[in-house]
Structure 1
Amino acid sequence: MIWSRRRRCDPPLTYRESPAGALVTRSSRGFTHYELHGDWGGVATHKKLVLIHGNVGSTLYIRNLAKSLASTHAVLTYDIYGRGFSSCDSTPHNKSLMVGQLAELLYCLNISGKINLVGYSLGGPIATHFASVYPTKLSSLTLLAPAFRPIPRHWKLLSQLPPARYLIGNIARYSLMNPADYAADWMGLDSTEEARREESRGLFKELYASEFDRFVNEPAFGSSFGNSLASMPWDDVWGPVAELGVGGRGKGINIAVIWGAGDNVVRKEEILEVLREKLGKGVLVEVVEKEGHSLPYERPKLCAELILKNVLEKRD
């Protein structure tokens, strides 16, 4: 049984209590918090956008991006399991869990027809696996700095141990609570261009305050980060990518890869060229100068323009 309600009162899983009025749905593996932006009344198929955030993120990270896209499209964002206000248990955070979460959410919300799917960082592998399983559900696939780089073997082995996962996750959490570490991937905070500098500083101040509260009060953050590190198929994406290439299961899907040239979190080297090779000539590649991993939340309007270029472009 799948159902929706406004606020949870008796979840059996680890979760953070959502604010009154928040949109939450229950599925087979727990609770999913989601947000709807734009006009969903009688929306046309090509107007539906779904955004998936990254490993340490939540809907907060991509809310301004969603709002920028919502002027022309209906946008759905959601917290992946164990982040934000979505629940978490000890189930491995593998591709089956993450793909199933999105599939059930779309079913629960009665979102039929095709969607335009956008995956950022860890959301990139999730979106890619979803597209591989449900290619007929997609009009377009946009990968923002997708985290396709394999995790070092010693980290993978270490993170199989629950105490190690907890420790690794909390090291990440306490690091992000430090403003300097949190700002490490922001490119415009010290820009010589006054308008850019003020825009970045304003967005940083707003987002950091909300995220700091998350890091302090979100009970599953550390364990979820470590769980995904241990369980996600970080080195099992090239098969699905190849399947989506020219002439493959992705035929008819507009595919784009967008990367900040200065991204030091998920470096494009050794990933972007393989993506080009496996996806073929039909893929749209945008490498944005003077931008980094923070592109979706530091430059939401620019990022929205790049996403819509892929969504709206007509290709053979």
Structure 2
Amino acid sequence: MIWFFLCFLAFALAVAPFVRELFRHPPQVDRADAQGETALLEDGVTHYHWHGPTTDSVIVLIHGLSSPSWVFAGLIRGLNMMGYQVLSYDLYGRGLSDRPRDRQTPEFFLSQLTRLLDEQGLEGPVSIMGYSMGGVIGALFAARYPERVDRLILLAPAGMDYVPGPLLGRAGNSGLFGHWLWQVAGPKTLREAARRDAAGPTVIPDLADRIDAELSRRGYLRAVLSAHKNTLSLQIETVHRDIGRMGTPVLAIWGEEDAVIPLTAIGKLTQWNRNARHHVVKGAGHALPHTAPTAIIAAVTEFLREV
């Protein structure tokens, strides 16, 4: 009898996180009260938002692994004042976009971006700003469609020297057990990280509540783990070398104390693209968009004057 009980207990522990996932709600529940609009693309619904008056200068913002498009809230006004109309959107698996079960590879994200720009009628050149994992997606778009990009701005870009957190790194290398581990312990890890960021300088003081909302939506944890394994962990040397040969202006902005994409990445990107310009924000970590928006706007303003 005791063996039956132990086996039942082990089974219950194994399936509990996946059962809990079934009770999380889909993103469409929250769309009715949200700002922005949705586009039905081939792989699902994408939630997007236009900011500022219509102009010929458009900048597209691509967020990173765990925080959706609201991570750029502190940059919108400054970009509008530069004369940009801003387009932000939620990557699949985050925010109010759908949760397709496809592997979250660079090609998967590139398809979403390309189809969204096509759906919005943006055929001419736009500026791209990619943060962290968004830097991989933006760089791939710039290399694949150079005629559609006039400038590439990278904030703490992934694709080189990425250092994942201990739990995420272990989960990504542990197969099915890793999926279970991330479902069990991932929420606590993400909440603790959000609380730490919210306790420091930030223009998003309710960051922890926003991450809680992400964790309440079905498919978010799966998307984060998949993107970590299939996009963030890649080195994209060929992509950046191609961008360098094409001559697309590139500005990379780094956090001096970034533990996720350390400053060693500057040397690597310099080797790949000698024309890329660099700016280091002193005292900043990885969460540049919401901890150092003023420094980012100043660096972008100077970049626009020079190129």
TM-score by length of 2: 0.81
Q: State the 1:147 CA deviation.
A: 1.6
User: What code does the residue aligned with 1:208 have?
Assistant: A
Q: State the 1:88 CA deviation.
A: 1.2
- Aligned residue for 1:205, secondary structure, equals coil
2:114 aligned with 1:131: no
Q: What is the alpha-carbon distance in structure 1 between the residues aligned to residue 260 and residue 231 of structure 2?
A: 17
Decide whether aligned partners of structure 1 residues 166 and 78 sit closer, same or farther in structure 2, where only a CA change above 3 A counts. Answer: farther
Question: Hey, what does 1:19 align to over in structure 2?
Answer: 32
Decide whether aligned partners of structure 1 residues 293 and 151 sit closer, same or farther in structure 2, where only a CA change above 3 A counts. Answer: closer
Q: State the 1:165 CA deviation.
A: 3.0
Question: Hey, what does 1:294 align to over in structure 2?
Answer: 287
Question: Hey, what does 2:179 align to over in structure 1?
Answer: 165
Q: What is the alpha-carbon distance in structure 1 between the residues aligned to residue 242 and residue 128 of structure 2?
A: 17
User: What code does the residue aligned with 2:293 have?
Assistant: P
Question: Hey, what does 2:266 align to over in structure 1?
Answer: 272
Q: State the 1:79 CA deviation.
A: 0.4
Contact 1:168–1:222 (Cα < 8 Å) also in 2: yes
2:283 aligned with 1:313: no
Contact 1:79–1:86 (Cα < 8 Å) also in 2: yes
User: What code does the residue aligned with 2:128 have?
Assistant: L
Indicate the structure with greater helix content.
2
2:194 aligned with 1:182: yes
User: What code does the residue aligned with 1:84 have?
Assistant: G
Question: Hey, what does 1:48 align to over in structure 2?
Answer: 58
Q: What is the alpha-carbon distance in structure 1 between the residues aligned to residue 273 and residue 196 of structure 2?
A: 31
Which structure 2 residue ranges, 5 or more long, are not aligned? Answer: 1-24
User: What code does the residue aligned with 2:267 have?
Assistant: E
Number of residue equivalences: 275
- Quote the RMSD (CA, aligned, Å): 2.4
Question: Hey, what does 2:252 align to over in structure 1?
Answer: 257
Contact 1:15–1:220 (Cα < 8 Å) also in 2: no
Question: Hey, what does 1:10 align to over in structure 2?
Answer: none
Contact 2:65–2:227 (Cα < 8 Å) also in 1: yes
Q: What is the alpha-carbon distance in structure 2 between the residues aligned to residue 96 and residue 169 of structure 1?
A: 25
Contact 1:170–1:222 (Cα < 8 Å) also in 2: no
Contact 2:156–2:255 (Cα < 8 Å) also in 1: yes
Q: State the 1:89 CA deviation.
A: 1.9
Decide whether aligned partners of structure 1 residues 110 and 130 sit closer, same or farther in structure 2, where only a CA change above 3 A counts. Answer: same
2:29 aligned with 1:36: no
2:220 aligned with 1:221: yes
Q: Which one of 92, 98, 121 corresponds to residue 81 of structure 1?
A: 92
Moved more, 229-238 or 89-98: 229-238
Q: What is the alpha-carbon distance in structure 2 between the residues aligned to residue 258 and residue 108 of structure 1?
A: 30
Q: What is the alpha-carbon distance in structure 2 between the residues aligned to residue 204 and residue 22 of structure 1?
A: 19
Q: State the 1:16 CA deviation.
A: 4.3
Q: What is the alpha-carbon distance in structure 1 between the residues aligned to residue 53 and residue 156 of structure 2?
A: 28
Question: Hey, what does 1:206 align to over in structure 2?
Answer: 206
Q: State the 1:169 CA deviation.
A: 5.5
Q: What is the alpha-carbon distance in structure 2 between the residues aligned to residue 37 and residue 93 of structure 1?
A: 27
Question: Hey, what does 1:67 align to over in structure 2?
Answer: 77
Decide whether aligned partners of structure 1 residues 118 and 128 sit closer, same or farther in structure 2, where only a CA change above 3 A counts. Answer: same
Q: State the 1:168 CA deviation.
A: 2.1
Q: State the 1:15 CA deviation.
A: 3.5
Q: State the 1:93 CA deviation.
A: 0.6
Question: Hey, what does 1:6 align to over in structure 2?
Answer: none
Cα deviations across residues 203-242 of structure 1 (Å, max 9, x unaligned)?
3423333332222x22111100111122226324111111
Contact 2:109–2:137 (Cα < 8 Å) also in 1: yes
User: What code does the residue aligned with 1:220 have?
Assistant: G
The percent of aligned pairs where both chains have the same amino acid is 23
Q: What is the alpha-carbon distance in structure 2 between the residues aligned to residue 210 and residue 222 of structure 1?
A: 14
Cα deviations across residues 102-149 of structure 1 (Å, max 9, x unaligned)?
111011111231011011011111111111111111110011101223
TM-score by length of 1: 0.79
Contact 1:169–1:224 (Cα < 8 Å) also in 2: no
Decide whether aligned partners of structure 1 residues 146 and 172 sit closer, same or farther in structure 2, where only a CA change above 3 A counts. Answer: farther
**Larger Rg belongs to:** 2
Q: State the 1:155 CA deviation.
A: 5.3
Q: What is the alpha-carbon distance in structure 2 between the residues aligned to residue 170 and residue 221 of structure 1?
A: 13
Decide whether aligned partners of structure 1 residues 306 and 14 sit closer, same or farther in structure 2, where only a CA change above 3 A counts. Answer: same
